[in-house]
Structure 1
Amino acid sequence: MPFQPGHISTEAERSAFRALAEAVWDRHGTAVGRMLTRMPALRGQEQEAARADLIALHLYLTTSEGALRHDELARALRSGDRSLLPYGACLASGLRRLPSYRGVAFRGAGAESIADGPAPGDLLRDPAPVCALPLAPGAPRPRGAQYVISSVTGRRVRQLTDQRSAGAARDEVVFPPGTLLRVLDVREEGGAPLILLREVPLTTPHAQPEPGAAELDPADRAALDRIDEVLRGHSVAPGPSDWPELCDGPLGQSANRPVSD
């Protein structure tokens, strides 16, 4: 697993990422610079570190073509390709600079099915970032195959994308690479799987997940209660859900077996 949540980029990682992103650095740096003007506590070297980290995150959220697209980063991190590790390192570091989101978020599950998907008690840990959508008060919830995630430290990115150069602000929740998710329940709704997950914060920087057990612990049950309350409180959208590309697709890999760093 290349990164753990809370990763702090090194000077070497930031320099290597700048070399990778040199052609688009100034364009993304302009948008990030506007955000940094609202963070006056950052000065000198710390501000330059924050700039590189947030450029990586802004690039990830807004780039739709080229070798630094979000799907290319996910492919590299999941396959063990080290060529984009500096990009992933800065992105992970940038996320810790944004506000955390405590609540329920939704992600399209693509072709995931109950038959071959995860089971209650399983642990999932994706080497890539995981994006999901928060639910606005009173809004209908999505229809179709999806993950429903109880978030504790996922990061809300609206603050970074609410810039003139980025068009309409994006209100997404991004979980850092290496986030651990526990399957609480797998249901069927309207003929599609509904996979309920709880974010499990790591207690130590290099903690390894313990194998999952189907029996839920008190934290699991509390998270499941919160999810059920949200599901009951929002009707299902009448038509097919149009998931943003970043917020759709199956999660990377099971963490029930030992994971190597």
Structure 2
Amino acid sequence: MTPAQPLVPAQSAAPDEPSTAPETTETDPTTPTELPNAPAPDDAPSDDNTPTGPHVLAADRPSTPEERQLVRVSLGWRYDTEAREIVVLLAERPGIRTAAAGQADAMVTELVALRAFLAADPGALVTAQRTGRIGTDGPLLACVTGGLRRVPSYRGVAFATVPGGAHAGRGHYRPGRLLWEPAPVVASARRTAVRPDDVDFVLWSSTGRRCEDFVPDRETLPIIFSPSTRFGVLATEETAAGGFRVYLTEVRTRDLHRWTGETAEADDRILTRLRDAARNAPAAGPSAAVPLIGFKPDDQPFTPPAD
């Protein structure tokens, strides 16, 4: 597997300076910003391609000043442009969490990172985080996680697919299984196109994040589940087109104690809603492609870190 190309070059970072608006720089927007030559931080990942396990980020982890500075420098002139658009968005979308006093720059940087994540190749960065081959993209991934905390949550049905994954999926998912996914899951609130031999994920979201304001086409309605989300398998079924459908529900930390592998009455109600959506919602968008949720590339389940 070819590792993801890093978006954030490794270099030393300086802490944030308190501000209420993003600082602009005088740069030529026709040429990339020249990045200073500086040694990588002591804890920067190695440049080799040896898998080290997933790069773990807790869903509630804020970014650090050093990580935000690295993201700002790496984006160069693009950061100023994106930051101005985020400031306008914040004025128009009161549902996005406002920053505490002195933290406006942190919020803007994290939301710029979220926008850059969706504008680039989310699949490549998700693969990097799942395999631990993050190169120098660690600061970007940390800021994306921080940005997701600020976006309104979504309660309802979401959809995603694993292209051509039906054969492997049949051996992985059984009702009652609890799975942990280390990377973001980029799904859609719209029913997506499903082809024969796909895994068709139909997911119930409790805390997934609505991210339509951070993509050029808001009609795609992306729903992103944060890193380290747990999912419970409610049911599976074969599809008429020869694919494999998996019904998943998000299992919040506070509900882990009740997840015994046998669905409760609340889960039965959720499963009914998921089945209705899978069968009746018209396919209105392209496939939201994801890996096999909860499983490593070698088909073994991910093991969550000890709480």
TM-score, normalized by the shorter chain, greater than 0.5: yes
Q: Secondary structure at 1:37's aligned position in 2?
A: helix
Matched, 1:106 2:159: yes
Point out 4+ residue stretches in structure 1 off by more than 6 angstroms. Answer: 254-257
Q: By how many angstroms is 1:225 displaced?
A: 2.2
Letter in structure 1 aligned against 2:106: A
How many equivalent pairs are there? 239
Q: What is the 5 A alignment of 1:56-67?
A: 56-63=113-120
Q: By how many angstroms is 1:229 displaced?
A: 3.1
Q: By how many angstroms is 1:86 displaced?
A: 1.4
Matched, 1:130 2:159: no
Larger RCO (CA under 8 A, 6+ residues apart): 1
Q: In the alignment, which residue of structure 2 is the partner of 1:215?
A: 262
How large is the Cα RMSD of the aligned pairs? 3.1
Structure 1 window deviating more from structure 2 (226-235 vs 176-185): it is 226-235
Structure whose alpha-carbon radius of gyration is higher = 2
Matched, 1:243 2:287: yes
Matched, 1:74 2:126: yes
Deviations 1:190-210 (A, max 9, x none): 211011000111239xxxx78
Please, which runs of 5 or more residues in structure 2 have no aligned partner? 1-54
Matched, 1:30 2:84: yes
C-alpha distance 218-256 of structure 1, shift in aligned 2 (>3 A): farther
C-alpha distance 124-21 of structure 1, shift in aligned 2 (>3 A): farther
Deviations 1:219-250 (A, max 9, x none): 43232122123235436x59xx7315xx4443
Q: Normalising to structure 2: TM-score of the pair?
A: 0.67
Q: Secondary structure at 2:304's aligned position in 1?
A: coil
Contact 1:129-1:176 within 8 A present in 2 as well: yes
Contact 2:180-2:304 within 8 A present in 1 as well: no
C-alpha distance 256-27 of structure 1, shift in aligned 2 (>3 A): same
Q: In the alignment, which residue of structure 2 is the partner of 1:121?
A: 176
Q: Secondary structure at 1:56's aligned position in 2?
A: helix
Q: In the alignment, which residue of structure 1 is the partner of 2:214?
A: 160
Q: By how many angstroms is 1:49 displaced?
A: 0.7
Q: Secondary structure at 1:128's aligned position in 2?
A: coil
C-alpha distance 258-127 of structure 1, shift in aligned 2 (>3 A): closer
Percentage of pairs with the same residue: 27
Please, which runs of 5 or more residues in structure 1 have no aligned partner? 64-68
